[in-house]
């Protein structure tokens, strides 16, 4: 089983930097290489102060912190990918959420999928975002075993919660899934959560009391093997570009429109032209600070 790609909308663009200055700072050997190949080749974080540069889908991460592979209420999955890195705020949030997950009936904690690479940046597969240490995927599979072997973390599969291409939840859906996402969305550190449209509609139908947390639950493609949590830019990180907040309200009507379009797709536009392929992202397309992030010595 291959987990669905976690793309997510990228939010606002990173501030413009001087292309001439950026080009002058880029080593010649890196100038024509893809950014994903450069960041994917680095196995350790930079020896810099922790800071996110750029936006969620066009940036990098200095001084990353590693989520421990195992904790009393969490397991980091797919360790071979080396994507269990983030800001200290992300690691703290995940540990806090895992303790809430462990209180759910039938759950002993949570299984945590991809976060960021050791220095953030674009990845070779699976994600458009996850570049600045503020995104994480939480598996839909209830965390039952908190002592998984490295081999088990590579072979164990999550479960899908969707039916009818994401229009509805399936029989794997439980109130515990909703409770975990509500706990995450209720945390002030969280900016938004991406999940398939049918899950949002299901929560809209069953939520009682204060519904403010539903505003952060955003329908998006895929996201049925995991839900994707995105944090706000931490205070004091001036190089981090915050995504615009969701529109006001609970967002339930929007989610229902996603479901309606799944069940009754609008006719294709006969005049639509194929989108041109996106050029490969290089260092010149990232914030200028990302050059020094790559050049920095590694933490031991």
Segment 108-126, tens digit of pLDDT? 999 999 999 999 999 988 7
**pLDDT band at residue 243, thresholds of 50, 70 and 90?**
very high
- Contacts with 163 (C-beta within 8 Å, 6 or more apart), sequence order: 169, 170, 198
Segment 170-183, tens digit of pLDDT? 999 999 999 999 99
Contact status, residue 102 vs residue 108, Cβ threshold 8 Å: yes
- How much is the pLDDT for 16? 40
- How much is the pLDDT for 21? 34
- How much is the pLDDT for 224? 98
Average pLDDT in the 138-154 region? 98
Q: What is the mean pLDDT of the chain?
A: 92
- How much is the pLDDT for 18? 36
- How much is the pLDDT for 97? 98
Q: How far is CA 163 from the centre of its chain?
A: 23
**pLDDT band at residue 194, thresholds of 50, 70 and 90?**
very high
Average pLDDT in the 82-109 region? 98
- How much is the pLDDT for 10? 52
**pLDDT band at residue 6, thresholds of 50, 70 and 90?**
low
Q: Which residue has the higher pLDDT, 62 or 13?
A: 62
Q: Which residue has the higher pLDDT, 10 or 143?
A: 143
pLDDT tops 50 at residue 20:
no
Average pLDDT in the 193-200 region? 98
- Contacts with 51 (C-beta within 8 Å, 6 or more apart), sequence order: 61, 62, 63, 237, 239, 240, 289
- Proportion of the chain above pLDDT 90, given as a percent: 85
- How much is the pLDDT for 299? 86
- How much is the pLDDT for 127? 82
pLDDT tops 80 at residue 17:
no
Segment 58-72, tens digit of pLDDT? 999 999 999 999 999
Size of the chain, expressed as the number of residues it contains: 300
pLDDT tops 90 at residue 300:
no
- How much is the pLDDT for 2? 39
| Beta bridge partner(s), residue 190 | 231
- How much is the pLDDT for 245? 95
pLDDT tops 70 at residue 195:
yes
Q: Does CATH number 3.40.50.720 belong to domain 46-160+191-196+217-248+286-294?
A: no
């Amino acid at each position: 089983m291959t987990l669905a790609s976690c793309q997510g909308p990228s939010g606002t663009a990173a501030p413009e930097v001087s292309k001439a200055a950026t080009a002058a700072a880029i080593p010649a050997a890196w100038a024509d290489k893809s950014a994903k190949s450069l960041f994917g080749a680095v196995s350790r974080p930079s020896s810099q102060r922790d800071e996110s540069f750029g936006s969620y889908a066009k940036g990098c991460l200095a001084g990353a912190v590693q989520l421990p592979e195992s904790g009393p209420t969490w397991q980091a999955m797919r360790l071979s990918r080396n994507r269990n890195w983030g800001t200290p705020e992300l690691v703290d949030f995940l540990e806090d959420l895992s303790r809430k997950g462990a209180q759910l009936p039938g759950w002993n904690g949570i299984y945590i999928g991809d976060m960021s690479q050791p220095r953030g940046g674009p990845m070779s597969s699976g994600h458009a975002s996850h570049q600045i240490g503020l995104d994480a995927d939480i598996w839909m599979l209830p965390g039952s075993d908190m002592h998984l072997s490295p081999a088990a973390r590579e072979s164990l599969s999550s479960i899908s919660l969707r039916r009818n291409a994401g229009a509805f939840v399936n029989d794997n859906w439980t109130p515990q899934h909703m409770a975990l996402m509500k706990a995450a969305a209720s945390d002030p550190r969280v900016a938004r959560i991406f999940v398939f449209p049918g899950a949002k509609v299901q929560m809209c139908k069953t939520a009682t009391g204060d519904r403010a947390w539903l505003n952060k639950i955003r329908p998006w493609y895929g996201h049925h093997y995991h839900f994707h949590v995105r944090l706000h830019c931490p205070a004091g990180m001036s190089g981090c570009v915050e995504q615009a907040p969701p529109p006001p309200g609970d967002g339930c009507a929007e989610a229902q429109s996603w479901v309606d379009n799944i069940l009754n797709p609008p006719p294709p536009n006969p005049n639509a032209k194929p989108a041109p392929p996106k050029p490969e992202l290089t260092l010149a397309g990232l914030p200028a600070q990302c050059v020094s992030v790559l050049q920095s010595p590694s933490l031991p």
